[in-house]
Structure 1
């Protein structure tokens, strides 16, 4: 490309440091300026009977969308409403039980001022986040949060940089304050993120991943080893579950047990699984978390584990491969 500028060595890195310092200074100033208005805003969000509707235009709109997502995923029902789309029909999303969180550094955007008038007529409440406490949006909101910054990281002091960072962090602070006030737990977070790693770990139970019914390799006590091997090969779990006459598991016969039996006896064709099975196999209840079962299996260096009810009745079996496939480990 012609006329591409060639920065001097270290110039780009120096620019990055200036940006970091400018935005850190903006956050420090914002932290120092927090007052009772923040607590009032958090209390309003906690007491909201509808949804928190976060709105903005341009760069502030991008920040608003992220804040809405953070609120929603941490226990405060929320959604994003684009400021421009709002005045062309999306205001129909609002109800009088909602709280609008409007983000605009200037506090003078036509779209958000139009939204303000509609919110007022509807009887809903509005919290504004601006960098100009004297702006029309700030003066007419139910509550105003001041996110003013001394300067943008942009050397022209034009591109929203430090100001959008300040608004983002203020939104995060509101979300976290509400999260803590609600006693929002890891389990609550997992329910909002069932597709994530934490969700899988906290919401996947043994009963969800265990093999059961006809998929289980089951043989009766006294079964000859060759017959047990046929069942083991057919079911692909690397073991056979040995049960007594009442169907209660009395042991498991694994590939390792087979190798050890051959090492001891050589010809095993006349032997029964009872001669080589592992007695008193480790078990887990179906209501245990799958990740807990994985921990037990890993600690015991086990590839398989039986699933039983409170009476010891066999319900299913786990294989380490099942836990890996379910992505709980």
Structure 2
């Protein structure tokens, strides 16, 4: 596998679609909430989208990782439970989270320890791998998919033609333009709502309001949406922040699944302790108290009681029983209805 130099990275590009032209060769990139204004020769915050002589060039025709996993690992709990999803990713991110779980690919060009490996590929080859492994879904992840949306759409066009479902695992730092661009080709949208504090989002490298707006827009546009909050001790685990997140999500829709997941020491926060199970229980109880119908605890398989399971909010019957990323029992049919009371469970079940 070749090592990707900056020159080589720039050679694996094509003209981008997500931008507005300005005078004197300048342009505004609209792939993420930064809306970088770029003069000729300038790179965006993400480092991988850049202005070459008045033309926006964007990543194309490579992957930095391909992996077949249970769809529950993304995590999507209300989409094709018990099936496999093929994950693919590129390089780069518009955030700089000190606790990033995928820093090895997302922080390329910011951190010398991050990978610069890549593999040239085509949409057909990616979909061939998915079909060969029996995957039902193809998911853009590992780096921030919004900033590589042109490539993702090409992959998803091929995926749709072969009957595959498509998904994003994203930080949600989007724009109306990028959501409209991916809307015809994207089914599932997982967004990390990292905290509920504007100053903290600024330190992460993003805009808090842009993330909240994106979550609302994703829901309104009809993507299947699930939210994840990685609960980090001493960072975002206060009752105030957890209440803020839960109230916001319940206002958008009480049917949005909220995953409260455990942090494990990683990257630049390797001395921060892991999240106690008790904190996950507290976060879940807060979510349920604010009216959210589906709140799941994650990253501590077998330690969180029944909070990995899907319950009918009407009769409280267990519909999907899980342990970690493994579905043990699924009583929910393709119509997404509780077999006991007939209540409809929102999701993408077929």
TM interval, shorter chain, is under 0.3
Question: Which of the two has higher C-alpha Rg?
Answer: 1
Higher helix share: 1
TM-score scaled to structure 2, two decimals?
Answer: 0.26
